[in-house]
Structures are given as C-alpha cells and as structure tokens.
Amino acid sequence: MNLERVEQIIETYGRDRMNSLPILEDIQREFNYLPRQALELVAKRLGMPQGHVYQLATFFKAFTLSPKGEHQCKVCLGTACHVKGGALILETLEKELKVKAGATTADGKFSIEGVRCLGACALAPIIVIDNQPLGQITADAAVQKIRELAAPKTAPSPAPAPAPASKPAAAVPKRGVDMSAVPPR
Ligand code: FES
C-alpha cells in the first residue's frame, strides 16, 4: 500500500490529533478501507496509542478494516424495505455475486451488505450502489445493474478519419480558339 499517500493526508491536517477522525475518513476514502499499516502510521505521527486509533476505527460504522470492493452495494433491510422484498434482493445478489453479505468478491469488484433503514422508506425497496440510491427496485433489476457494472468497459471506437479533401478538378486545356467569345457577324 502507498504509505506516502497516508503521510500526505496526515500532513494535510498538520499532524493534529484533534483531526484524527477526518484523517481516518480521508484514508478510508483513498483506499476503500483502513489498512493496518495506515492505522499504525497515524498513531505514530499523531503521537497516539495504537489501541486508541483502532478504537476509533472500529467504533464508527463508516470505517472498515477489511478491503471493500471497487463497487459497493448496500441493500436496505429496514422494516419498509423488508416488507417489500429487501431480503429477497439481498439473497439474489448474494447468489449472483457468489458471496455472503458483508464480504467482497474474490476479484475485488463488489462488496455487498445489508443495512438498516436508509431513511427513504417511500422508495422501498431500495439499494444503494456506489452511493447512488435505486428505489422501488426489483431483484431482477438489481442483478441487471450489477451485471452492467461487471461488464468490461469497451473502449470508445476511434473517430472516423476525416475524408481526404477533394482536389479541385484539373482544368482541361482547351484546344483551339474559344468561338463563344467571338461576336456573330
Ligand atoms: S426501510 Fe428501507 S429506506 Fe427505510
């Protein structure tokens, strides 16, 4: 992992232990999780006991100590979403991705988890993929979305080459005298 980047983040906050939470947030944003070496470095640079930094990292649900997938999928299991099939959506996505909730796929592409009410019950059932909420979604539509993200991105086809500029037609040399310019007698 890139410890230099962790150093930069810590320096941005002036190595101030009062900023330990924003520092951890930035590290998590950068790496998608809080790597152990990063936490050790934070403790060292901020002059904090490692145990204290680990406490912060484990207390807040927003932090995770295990690597997250490139795409993160949250399925709401709050009451309204549960009633409208949230559990079925989660189960279907687990089958599609071949991982259990809370885990990351072997290729590191997807993480999936069940979460509590997201506060948008009117849109139940709802899932959130990469911070994009998808309300009133069906299990099939959720699978479709995952497949779209899993599909390899095709490079945009190159723009067609401009057509060669057409040369002006070469003037045909006239033979003899142009009689049209001669006035009639
Ligand atoms: S129960 Fe899912 S958003 Fe409230």
Using one digit for the tens of pLDDT, what is the confidence trace for 145-174?
A: 999 999 887 766 666 666 555 555 444 444
Determine the topology of domain 3-59 in CATH.
Arc Repressor Mutant, subunit A (1.10.10)
Q: Which CATH number is 71-150 given?
A: 3.40.30.10
CB atoms within 10 A of CB 119: 10
Q: Using one digit for the tens of pLDDT, what is the confidence trace for 24-48?
A: 999 998 988 899 999 999 999 999 9
Q: In what order do the strands lie in the sheet with 110-115?
A: 110-115, 71-76, 127-129, 132-134
Q: Find the 75 Cα to ligand 1 centroid distance in Å.
A: 9
Asked if the bond preceding 125 is cis, omega within 30° of 0, the reply is yes
Intervals of CATH 3.40.30.10 along the chain: 71-150
Lowest average pLDDT, out of 14-18, 23-27, 114-118, 136-140, goes to: 14-18
Pocket residue to mutate for ligand 1, from 76, 90, 115, 136, most atoms within 8 A of Cβ = 76
Other C-beta atoms within 10 Å of 78: how many?
Answer: 19
pLDDT in tens, 84-133: 999 999 999 999 999 999 889 999 899 999 999 999 999 999 999 998 99
Percentage of the chain modeled with pLDDT above 90: 66
d(CA 87, CA 74): 12
Range list of H helices, 35-183: 36-46, 50-59, 79-83, 86-97, 139-150
> CATH 1.10.10: which residues of the chain?
3-59
pTM: 0.65
Residue 70, judged by CB atoms within 10 A of its CB (0-12, 13-18, 19+), counts as middle
Q: Is 78 in the pocket of ligand 1 (CB under 6 A)?
A: yes
